[in-house]
Structure 1
Amino acid sequence: MFPAIIIGLIVLGIEFITGIIANGLMIIVNCSEWIRSRKLTCCDMILTSLGISRFFLQCTIIINGTIFQLSQDMNEQCAMSRTMAVVWMFLNTFNLWFATWLSVFYCMKIANFSQPLFLCLKRRISGLMPQLLIGSFLVSLVTCFPSVNSIDRKYINNSMNNLFFILSMLGYSFPFIIFMMSSILLIISLWRHSKRMEKTTGSSRDTITEVHFRAIKGLISFIFFYISYFVALVILLLEISTINTYFLWIVIMGAYPSGHSVILILGNPKLKRVAVRALHYAGCRLRDAVSQNCS
């Protein structure tokens, strides 16, 4: 048991550092651009909001994973753990909504359907996105309010577990359903487009399709991380994991806000360019430090 906890903490630490760097990069680059030009594109606005929410989510995950869950007795007795449970639930809901709106934005901008409702949303999505992000914040707060009392009673009376689970799943399920619908629509649209291009030009790829397929590769990784995180979250809420498997689910959850942010940076030319420059600078500084120590 002890080696498993140590390994879990090491992996959590690596995920935490990676996520802090990746999400911090998204926040700094986009905020710097906003300060300089006083405007952000819709995509950059979503990425900035996602980076901020994931930054705090990772802090909460590592706190829960390293302090409050190491001792079940301490977790039951410590009043702060109840506060952290509420904060954790809010950040989970908040983060899932932001990630969902990123998927919806990709779907609206890339997918091509002729339905009037879809075309209307496609035209208005950029203007609606600020309201959707703010609305997600308010919905996350409202979702968490009923859970405060149930969490407090949950630590006294285990019969509140089912209520806490239902309240949590109500907050998590809606963004998950919207995310899956937008992802499926985007995949269907890209598949149809590649088939049409194959019939008309004899090739399944053109310049626009190449861009779209790079987006879909990122979306597939997004789906993988999102579903893995959602499944781990449900298992932890059901409290069916053992001590031996607890850190496995925590590690899976920690991989989502760090791993997907890295993929977003690699798929964004502006963020990728800044990341490459930062890595080059860090490598030069490291070589200089090593050469000075050797001399």
Structure 2
Amino acid sequence: MLEGVMLFLFLAVMVQFFTGVLASGFIVVVSAIDLITHRKMAPLDLLLSCLATSRIILQMCVFLVQLSLLYLVKYSLFVDNITFVLFINELNLWLATWLGVFYCAKIATIPHPFFLWLKMRISRLVPWLILGSVFCSTITAIIHSRETTTIPKQTFTSFFSKNATQFGQINATLLSVFILGLTLPLLIFIVAILLLISSLCNHSWQMKTMVGARESNRYSIISAMLSILLFLFLYFSHYMIVVLMSTQGFQFGRASFQVGMLVFGICLSLHSIVLILGNPKLKQNAKMFIVHCKCCHCEKAWIISRAVPATHHSATKT
């Protein structure tokens, strides 16, 4: 029974990992091809490629932890590099936050001077926002490495220890510093997403009352709202799981931690897929890639089917 559960968890971990890496890698490849073709990269593509790259690295870190829980690698590899994991996790949250702000600035219509200023300059601000995210994440990681290293080490060591019920006491002030670095991008993200949803709702209501408004436009708005709500749900789930882990919320041993890490990895993978489906260019390239794979498979099957009768005929003739 235990071997069956371990096998199921291993397969779930592998599917979650490769799905997330392939989806994020697809975003990076498409952006790289555009950069090579046009010798420049659009601000949105730059932001998406940076987010996808950080997500691939974070997926690898999660995969390492999951293998540790399955006793396939030593957990000390993760604990010893916890500062880097904190850096890449916070960078991922900041980049996802700025992606939400970018969509809000480009799509929403809010008659406010600051919003109009942001709408006109958001594209030029994208490189600075990315650099600012790297800077903030680096500063936070340095603070953690010097003063709050005991928070992640105590937490993760206790999860992997044989006696998972014995937890060290974590200083509340140090834990507050740790969570603050995660909460600030969350608040910015929530404000941007709520403003975007409010704007889309107002636009949908105006189209509903407008004579001759196309139903397809309303459906596209509803589809966009659903994608945004899913984006918000995955982002908040990412935040909550990290907070629960840092505050030792999963205090019932390895099983709860295993489930938390699995859900965390699934959130990362699903969000990369949502980004592809919500971006027209990425979605179109994904369709072309799938069609190309199907054509290659059909061509290979046709060649094999032609080769088999020929081989059978020559063997019969002999």
TM-score of the aligned structures, taking structure 2 as reference length? 0.81
Question: Do residues 265 (structure 1) and 266 (structure 2) align?
Answer: no
Aligned residue for 1:231?
240
**Poorly superposed stretches of 4+, deviation over 6 Å:** none
Cα deviations by residue, 1:113-134 (Å, 9 ceiling, x for unpaired): 1111111111111111110111
Report the structure number with the largest CA radius of gyration.
2
One of 196, 201, 217 as aligned partner of 2:211:
201
Higher helix residue share: 1
CA-CA distance at 1:174 after TM superposition: 0.7
User: Larger deviation: 252-261 or 264-273?
Assistant: 264-273
> What amino acid is aligned across from residue 44 of structure 1 in structure 2?
D
Structure 1 residues 212 and 41, CA gap change in structure 2 (3 angstroms)? farther
Consecutive unaligned residues in structure 1, runs of 5 or more: none
Aligned residue for 1:104?
101
CA-CA distance at 1:172 after TM superposition: 0.8
SS in 2 for 1:40: coil
SS in 1 for 2:41: coil
How many residues align? The count is: 288
User: Larger deviation: 263-272 or 175-184?
Assistant: 263-272
Identity %: 30
One of 168, 174, 181 as aligned partner of 1:158:
168
Distance (Å, rounded) in 2 between the aligned partners of 1:23 and 1:45: 13
User: Larger deviation: 276-285 or 102-111?
Assistant: 276-285
Distance (Å, rounded) in 2 between the aligned partners of 1:292 and 1:149: 62
Distance (Å, rounded) in 1 between the aligned partners of 2:243 and 2:302: 47
Consecutive unaligned residues in structure 2, runs of 5 or more: 155-166, 309-318
CA-CA distance at 1:151 after TM superposition: 5.5
> What amino acid is aligned across from residue 269 of structure 1 in structure 2?
P
Distance (Å, rounded) in 1 between the aligned partners of 2:19 and 2:126: 28
Structure 1 residues 111 and 235, CA gap change in structure 2 (3 angstroms)? same
CA-CA distance at 1:182 after TM superposition: 0.6
User: Larger deviation: 25-34 or 156-165?
Assistant: 156-165
One of 238, 249, 252 as aligned partner of 2:263:
252
Distance (Å, rounded) in 2 between the aligned partners of 1:290 and 1:223: 45
> What amino acid is aligned across from residue 216 of structure 1 in structure 2?
M
> What amino acid is aligned across from residue 57 of structure 2 in structure 1?
F
Conserved? CA contact 2:234–2:267, under 8 Å: yes
CA-CA distance at 1:247 after TM superposition: 1.5
User: Larger deviation: 193-202 or 244-253?
Assistant: 193-202
Aligned residue for 1:136?
133
SS in 1 for 2:169: helix
CA-CA distance at 1:185 after TM superposition: 0.6
Question: Do residues 188 (structure 1) and 189 (structure 2) align?
Answer: no
